[in-house]
Structure 1
């Protein structure tokens, strides 16, 4: 789960007459990724398998197209009897053809309508810049004195025409995109606008005679709307029919995938007069299955590939519990792990929800996100989407942690329902919220963890200072862990240069913030003493930078000297890499090595660590947005109920309720999205960049998608 599976490159040699049986057993096990043999036993190929593979792949794409348009969700299932894969491919091809034929007319009509709509949309894009002109330009073109010219051209030619015509004409232009320009030129006939445009290769935009651009645009827009409505009707018709045939789609789709897997395996095989050679990657744990199942049918040999230094890197296969596979979708945005890399998914499954929860601590708002995520998950499944359910699961994990942090923060749709007006005004003259005495987490717990969630009844200047330190300390721990993972990956890669010149300097650098922000560790469990000790060492570091008393700030000086030494080491490492791989001179290597290793290394150390302050910032932003709307709800209620100290009266006032609902919708919709993005940013830029390259290739084995008899 943490490391990619050890892969073996396996060679299977069998007699030609036993090929169908051997391939059947291989796809049944389902963990053999076929590759071209390194040392072929012959130059022959199974050409029929290669030819039929292309045909079936084309049919699969058509079936997928029908399923995509009809928005039906299909999980391959069923069974098939295989004696000969060539015969099986013929049978499956016939099944797919029948299914295609049934929907052929509808698909062709939908595709024709789409093509027509795309053409109209492209024409509308050209006319759109001129849609405010409500007179027919054909009438203007025929004027005796004046000339008018409109066109769509590229930026370079449009600017060249402007210069060529000079200031004697009216020249109007509007960018359509980064490269294209709409132009309108009005001048005298003597200006020869059209001739000069033609010299530059600019053609006049041809419009329908007797109609103004505004009218043409409106007519095109109506046509697009009509076609779009017609496409929607045809798609609904296709969807209804496809749902009726869903079982047929399920079995045909599964059989197509299975036969394609088998033919992919056979198409890469090499053939001699009597034998067939297949080669590919297999997880080491599965080798015994192949040896056992193929013992009487084939000869199997295997070799262990190196993790680094080979021309071809093995594919990556990581066995993960189904419950956390959704987080792989976030990792895959960055890239697939390399064969020698630790999977960041296990790292992410812990850190992503925790950071989300710390930045979004509200039980009520998190509950809404949780319920929305469940609905979004079901919606994605219903629409046949693969990404929506994965994204929904990530939101579910994050919202669960946010509900827990909201529980401890004693926040439920803002401070009013629990803390009430007493918390908002900080005065015992006001009442608490209706949930205050029934809340499962007592105020004493909220007070104890105020350094973590510094708002509410117990918020003080010190608690905010401590929360800043806590946020950065959390960042220091995560950055150190990331750098340690980078060092571990380099050791696994067995590339000494990568280890000593890239990952070791980074690891040594990120020890610094860890030491500073865990300085008060011996003072625990006294939280106040812990944070005071951290503030003290931060003061010593600052004094050392300002060259103040050496004896009074010895620890600060040691930390500064250590930091300087690690940055010098990083600088020296980059000099070596510049001279070795960029063939730079010593002077150039010194300059660019300093920029990359010294200056940028120090800048990243500072910026990456401080970047985790955003955890506190977004938690405070969430609280005080709702605090502000609670204030507004209070003041909005005054004209109706008069000056009040009762929280219940605010929560029962219609205007107050409306304001609180608006505030919570704003916090959920806007801040929830921002927190999700910022959580991803902390992982991608601050953490992943220290240990994760993501340049691997996924393990894609030949496997059976239906039961084989």
Structure 2
């Protein structure tokens, strides 16, 4: 069902808008519309343009809340604050937190610098010589760096003994050799060029180390640990600060968030242009219940006025759709939203899909044991996880259990309980002209015919509400199509049951007249709508196109009806698959392998349950919805009351 909506125009003094939003609108669900768009015929209106003063302070509040210890971030506070108090709390906490964050950033920078120094000197810890002495040589130049193994071997074998240099290897890994070489200052440029030709990568070592490289690295690591300890202390202090002020912080954040959201309502509001006594105007949709409660709530408020517009012709926007269904059918709204929400004046198919989906699923998957597993498994999953699909599965399990009793099947065993109705694989029916046919196929097709006729009736209702005469009276799913298909169903039923068929003249009226109406649906629609041109200009093309469209209609009636054969086919295949499982378990020999029975039931329940669910959804969308449902509605998006 779709909840009834009312269109409201709320107005009052411009400076009073925040009070009205906070006092009233935050307690009701209202779908706001752009007031300027809705009030195009009203003169002297302008946009309500102001900068949100809560934006920056709210951003700061969010940043502080993110710093709260884990597990506390998403809790809320019941403490009530004014917006000024909330801003003061954020400023106060933010100032204290900022001092600690600044100190933390300073220490992090220092730690990173020490880490960089350690990483720079670590490869040279094999050099057992005081770094400060090396860095202050007067006549000898030094170079720290690395070279690949390939070029190191070439240098050592062919170059090293021919030049005036001392090379000290410090460390090596899979790719590089880390080394230091010394050279007299007078020939340093020539030697540096030779090393460069060997792809020597020089590393600058600043004058900041004391002792040997190993001693320097140890000293730096100790300093880095001390800085990290100080960083941890600062973070702990910040955590303690935020924890002690947690309730104030969350309350302030919630209050600022509410006022920021309220302030953003101005984007949809309009203002009068008078220099004095300026008024705001808000427009939107409320449910009839909320609208009545809201009007009663503001009846004693001298500054707030509300007008309810009942004439849809005076409203620019279409009402949004708010679904209101019984709790047991609410999970099926998921399928409706996947296809498209119904328009406000359209039939809500939620209850229809809830009944037909569960019923068809149960027919195709009839088993007491597996049905109970789906029923209680889905129920538990929905209770703890609130997954809509789990609730749908539970409803399907209920109908599977019912059909399990009708078919006499429990976990595939057909010799445990008596079949209340029939055995899907064994029960046959003798039909004229056709011969012996499985009964479940006949029942499935009969169900399909009934569902198709029902959807045609729903299409006529929907089309009448949309004031669409073509789809109401002349369409293949309208009155003409309904009469033709109902006549066809009646004739088939009479023939198959051995009853006399209506006379030829009556059959011509039953079939011929509806077909002619569907053939001439375009001219008839033009006639009803009183258009100037009744017949199309290209009459020959109209006849050819109408003939092929009529042929396609007849073909679609046949194919859509036969599409429901799959319902019976899956009922038979389910019984056949369980028969195979029992055969593999040795049931026929009298010694049952229960492990095979359990695994087989799990496999069939999982695989066939998924396939049946998809097939039933396909029937719903393509055989039911395509006949009557448009799904062109827009969702009701409430501002205010938090759901």
Structure-1-length-normalised TM-score: 0.58
Q: CA deviation at 1:374?
A: 4.1
1:573 aligns with 2:510: no
1:454 aligns with 2:424: yes
CA distance in 2: counterparts of 1:396 and 1:475, whole angstroms = 24
Tell me if the contact between 1:575 and 1:593 (Cα under 8 Å) persists in the aligned partners: no
Q: How many residues align?
A: 481
In structure 1, the residue matched to 2:564 is 612
Decide whether aligned partners of structure 1 residues 259 and 97 sit closer, same or farther in structure 2, where only a CA change above 3 A counts.
Answer: farther
Aligned counterpart for 2:478 among listed residues 494, 506, 512: 506
In structure 1, the residue matched to 2:584 is 632
CA distance in 2: counterparts of 1:337 and 1:668, whole angstroms = 33
Aligned counterpart for 2:293 among listed residues 271, 281, 289: 289
In structure 2, the residue matched to 1:300 is 306
Gaps in structure 2 of 5+ consecutive residues? 105-238, 431-435
2:332 counterpart SS class: helix
1:362 aligns with 2:367: yes
In structure 1, the residue matched to 2:48 is 45
In structure 2, the residue matched to 1:696 is 633
Aligned counterpart for 1:490 among listed residues 463, 471, 476: 463
2:520 counterpart SS class: helix
1:454 counterpart SS class: coil
CA distance in 2: counterparts of 1:496 and 1:290, whole angstroms = 39
In structure 2, the residue matched to 1:686 is 623
2:45 counterpart SS class: coil
CA distance in 1: counterparts of 2:635 and 2:424, whole angstroms = 44
CA distance in 1: counterparts of 2:542 and 2:4, whole angstroms = 39
Q: CA deviation at 1:677?
A: 0.7
Could you say which structure has the larger radius of gyration? Answer: 2
In structure 1, the residue matched to 2:226 is none
Tell me if the contact between 1:363 and 1:405 (Cα under 8 Å) persists in the aligned partners: yes
Aligned counterpart for 2:411 among listed residues 392, 396, 413: 413
Q: In angstroms, what is the RMSD of aligned CA positions?
A: 4.7
In structure 2, the residue matched to 1:586 is 539
1:482 counterpart SS class: helix
Trace 1:25-174 onto structure 2 (pairs within 5 A). 25-37=23-35, 38-39=38-39, 42-49=45-52, 79=78, 81=80
Decide whether aligned partners of structure 1 residues 263 and 98 sit closer, same or farther in structure 2, where only a CA change above 3 A counts.
Answer: farther
2:640 counterpart SS class: coil
Decide whether aligned partners of structure 1 residues 19 and 306 sit closer, same or farther in structure 2, where only a CA change above 3 A counts.
Answer: closer
2:24 counterpart SS class: helix
In structure 2, the residue matched to 1:319 is 324
1:48 counterpart SS class: coil
Q: CA deviation at 1:71?
A: 12
CA distance in 1: counterparts of 2:331 and 2:443, whole angstroms = 29
Q: CA deviation at 1:605?
A: 1.4
**1:207-266 deviation per Cα after TM superposition (whole angstroms, max 9, x unaligned):** xxxxxxxxxxxxxxxxxxxxxxxxxxxxxxxxxx9xx99999997997687556533433
In structure 2, the residue matched to 1:390 is 388
Tell me if the contact between 1:477 and 1:514 (Cα under 8 Å) persists in the aligned partners: no
Decide whether aligned partners of structure 1 residues 21 and 35 sit closer, same or farther in structure 2, where only a CA change above 3 A counts.
Answer: same
CA distance in 2: counterparts of 1:252 and 1:681, whole angstroms = 50
CA distance in 2: counterparts of 1:611 and 1:678, whole angstroms = 10
1:664 aligns with 2:601: yes
Decide whether aligned partners of structure 1 residues 337 and 8 sit closer, same or farther in structure 2, where only a CA change above 3 A counts.
Answer: same
In structure 2, the residue matched to 1:206 is none
Tell me if the contact between 2:480 and 2:518 (Cα under 8 Å) persists in the aligned partners: no
Tell me if the contact between 2:472 and 2:478 (Cα under 8 Å) persists in the aligned partners: no
Tell me if the contact between 1:486 and 1:692 (Cα under 8 Å) persists in the aligned partners: yes
CA distance in 1: counterparts of 2:94 and 2:473, whole angstroms = 56
**1:441-484 deviation per Cα after TM superposition (whole angstroms, max 9, x unaligned):** xx3xx35x22xx5346xx24549544322212211221111111
Higher helix share: 1
In structure 1, the residue matched to 2:352 is 347
Gaps in structure 1 of 5+ consecutive residues? 106-240, 382-388, 420-435, 521-530, 541-551, 638-643
Deviates more, 1:365-374 or 1:4-13: 365-374
Decide whether aligned partners of structure 1 residues 515 and 568 sit closer, same or farther in structure 2, where only a CA change above 3 A counts.
Answer: closer
Decide whether aligned partners of structure 1 residues 263 and 493 sit closer, same or farther in structure 2, where only a CA change above 3 A counts.
Answer: farther
Tell me if the contact between 1:337 and 1:693 (Cα under 8 Å) persists in the aligned partners: yes
CA distance in 2: counterparts of 1:591 and 1:277, whole angstroms = 57
CA distance in 2: counterparts of 1:586 and 1:409, whole angstroms = 57
Q: CA deviation at 1:285?
A: 3.2
In structure 2, the residue matched to 1:623 is 575
Structure-2-length-normalised TM-score: 0.63
Tell me if the contact between 1:506 and 1:570 (Cα under 8 Å) persists in the aligned partners: no
Q: CA deviation at 1:354?
A: 0.8
Q: CA deviation at 1:346?
A: 1.5
Tell me if the contact between 1:34 and 1:279 (Cα under 8 Å) persists in the aligned partners: yes
